[in-house]
């Protein structure tokens, strides 16, 4: 990451990047209420308190921000400049994570640790969370676990899981869903019509039951 500017300049850059990257916003005033921006701004305050060892105050700010925005960023996380969190819901970023400049994070992204069963055996102060390089894009529901490094300008696609280092410019995509044609819809005939009825009054088609439809899908191998 580049040299650290003053806090006010950093906050102004955060606002500008939201206006630039979110086409749903019509003005800077509208951008002030953006959920991701609120989460980033709150974290910058919490992180400053954390650095000064006002840990309880930092955690209170982070907790209030989580309740208001749905974004959970540990006060110890290091965020670079112009980090853009779009939508924001259910984003989780751990204590020792480092996020570079110009990173885009979509909803439900996790930058987490492997788990206590591994982390409890690491040396004191060892990194447990990812380092994300500059210009990285993390798609919706992407998960990056452990002390891995994501190279600059890499892209982690929606639903992808990363547990090892990625080189700069790498692309990671989750497996696509399998699309199969729907089986024909079964119908059952109703009672025979009145012989004296007029034309166009043949047997009524009654939709198959839900249980029959489930069995038909299973037998066709659609799950």
- Residue range 148-160, pLDDT digits in tens: 999 999 999 999 9
The position carrying tokens 């208001």 is 68
pLDDT cut 70: percent of the chain above it? 81
CA distances from 148 to 26, 152, 177 (A): 38, 13, 27
How many CB atoms are located within 10 Å of the residue 49 CB? 18
d(CA 60, CA 58) in angstroms, rounded, equals: 5
- Give the pLDDT confidence score for residue 211 in this predicted structure: 66
pLDDT cut 90: percent of the chain above it? 71
pLDDT band at 187 (very low <50, low <70, confident <90, very high): low
Average predicted confidence (pLDDT) for the chain:
88
First to last CA, the chain: 46
Is 0.85 surpassed by the pTM of this model? no
The position carrying tokens 């002030």 is 32
d(CA 31, CA 214) in angstroms, rounded, equals: 46
Find the mean pLDDT for residues 68-93: 96
Give the H/E segment covering residue 162: strand 161-162
Query: Which tokens in the block code for residue 196?
Result: 């004296």
- Give the pLDDT confidence score for residue 66 in this predicted structure: 96
Task: Tell which residue, 136, 140, 126, 139, has the closest CA to residue 165.
Answer: 136
Contact between 29 and 94 under an 8 Å Cβ cutoff? The reply is no
pLDDT band at 183 (very low <50, low <70, confident <90, very high): confident
- Give the pLDDT confidence score for residue 192 in this predicted structure: 56
- Give the pLDDT confidence score for residue 157 in this predicted structure: 97
Least confident of 112-116, 203-207, 211-215: 203-207
DSSP 207: E
Q: Report CA 131 to chain centroid distance, whole Å.
A: 17
- H helices present in the chain, as ranges: 7-21, 28-31, 35-51, 55-69, 116-119, 210-219
Contact between 138 and 157 under an 8 Å Cβ cutoff? The reply is no
């Amino acid at each position: 990451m580049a040299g650290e500017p003053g806090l006010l300049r950093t906050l102004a850059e955060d606002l500008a990047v939201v206006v630039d990257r979110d086409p749903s916003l019509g003005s800077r005033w509208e951008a002030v209420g953006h959920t991701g921006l609120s989460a980033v701004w709150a974290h910058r305050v919490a992180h400053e308190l954390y650095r000064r060892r006002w840990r309880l105050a930092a955690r209170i700010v982070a907790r209030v921000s989580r309740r208001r925005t749905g974004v959970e960023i540990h006060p110890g996380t290091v965020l670079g400049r112009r980090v853009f969190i779009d939508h924001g819901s259910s984003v989780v970023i751990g204590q020792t994570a480092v996020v570079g400049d110009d990173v885009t994070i979509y909803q439900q992204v996790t930058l987490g640790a492997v788990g206590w069963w591994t982390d409890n055996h690491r040396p004191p102060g060892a990194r447990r969370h990812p380092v994300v390089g500059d210009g990285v894009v993390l798609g919706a529901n992407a998960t990056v676990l452990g002390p891995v490094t994501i190279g600059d300008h890499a892209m982690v696609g929606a639903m992808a899981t990363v547990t090892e280092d990625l080189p700069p410019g790498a692309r990671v995509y989750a497996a696509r869903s399998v699309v199969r044609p729907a089986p024909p819809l079964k119908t059952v005939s109703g009672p025979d019509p009145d012989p004296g009825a007029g034309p166009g009054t043949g047997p009524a088609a009654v939709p198959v039951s839900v249980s029959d439809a489930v069995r038909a899908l299973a037998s066709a191998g659609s799950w």
